[in-house]
Amino acid sequence: MGPLLEVKGISKSFGGLQALRDINFTVSAGERVGIIGPNGAGKTTLFNILSGFTPPNSGMVLLDGQNILGKKPYQIVNLGLTRTWQLVKPFSGMKVIEAVSVPTFSKRYKNIYPAHPQGLKGINQILEGIGLAEKIWEEVENLNHSELRLLDISRAMATNPRILLLDEPFSGLSPKETEKISRMIIDLNEEGLTLLIIEHRLKELMKLVQRVIVIHFGEKIAEGPPECIIQDPRVVEAYLGERITDLGLA
């Protein structure tokens, strides 16, 4: 059985800027994989390519053996790959329950629950698990930043993904909220969800993932378990001498 996600030779340039150069990696079903790199390394561009929002100049992306390049974002979601956003994009004019219910109209959701869509019950479970149960009838405009972050993840989970791409899920969250999201990610992973996570908060990420991919100036410079990555000289140099002890893994 092959990997769930295969990224082969992905390159992308914007004019004279080479955002990504020959990126290769695989993600097996059930893995928790982190992607790190300094600002401008090309991480979000990579997510944009994987989720169908940006076409690469070259390369191939296989989801369970099927090439998904050229497919529209909604088609990729229907195949089981969905993502969150570095900058949250809520549906204005809706209540929380309505915003999270939007993905239940997708072809994927209807195929999974053809006879009896779980609708409100399933959405309630998602919101309760992520900590937004008390905000279920709140207007989206009234949520604070951390609640909007939780809403974005809830909305992604409502598509019932096979692999979830999280773009800085800890951004704007308190340590307590970050710990809760980390626990939720582990719980989802133990239930079978595969996760690919971009995050700048290295200490929290390194404790969460099983493998780390490091991108610097658009190139993959390292890949391996967290305990190896934090001691890789190329990674230390890329982060301007981030002390290993600061990450709590040494």
Q: Give the domain 5-88+147-247 fold.
A: Rossmann fold (3.40.50)
Instruction: Please list, in sequence order, all residues whose beta carbon lies within 8 angstroms of the beta carbon of residue 88, skipping any fewer than 6 positions away.
Output: 145, 148, 149, 151, 152
pLDDT above 90 for 75? yes
Task: Provide the pLDDT confidence category of residue 188 given band limits of 50, 70 and 90.
Answer: confident
Amino acid occupying residue 132: L
Task: Provide the pLDDT confidence category of residue 146 given band limits of 50, 70 and 90.
Answer: confident
Amino acid occupying residue 242: E
Model pLDDT for residues 77-120, shown as the tens digit of each residue: 999 999 998 888 777 899 998 998 887 777 776 666 554 444 55
Beta strands in 104-146 (DSSP E): none
11: number of Cβ within 10 Å = 17
Helix (H, G, I), strand (E, B) or coil at 189: helix
Helix (H, G, I), strand (E, B) or coil at 82: strand
Give me the pLDDT at residue 191, please.
87
Amino acid occupying residue 51: S
Domain spans in the chain, listed from the N-terminal domain onward:
5-88+147-247
Give me the pLDDT at residue 122, please.
72
Give me the pLDDT at residue 7, please.
98
For the chain, the distance separating the N- and C-terminal CA atoms, rounded to the nearest angstrom, is: 35
Helices (H), 13-118: 43-50, 73-79, 96-101, 107-112
Mean pLDDT, the chain, whole residue set: 88
Instruction: Please list, in sequence order, all residues whose beta carbon lies within 8 angstroms of the beta carbon of residue 131, skipping any fewer than 6 positions away.
Output: 150, 177, 180
Model pLDDT for residues 33-70, shown as the tens digit of each residue: 999 999 889 999 999 999 999 999 999 999 999 999 99
4 vs 236, residue with greater confidence: 4
Copy the structure tokens of residue 247. Answer: 């990450």
Copy the structure tokens of residue 62. Answer: 């296989």
State what percent of residues in the chain have pLDDT above 90.
56
How large is the average pLDDT for residues 158-172? 91
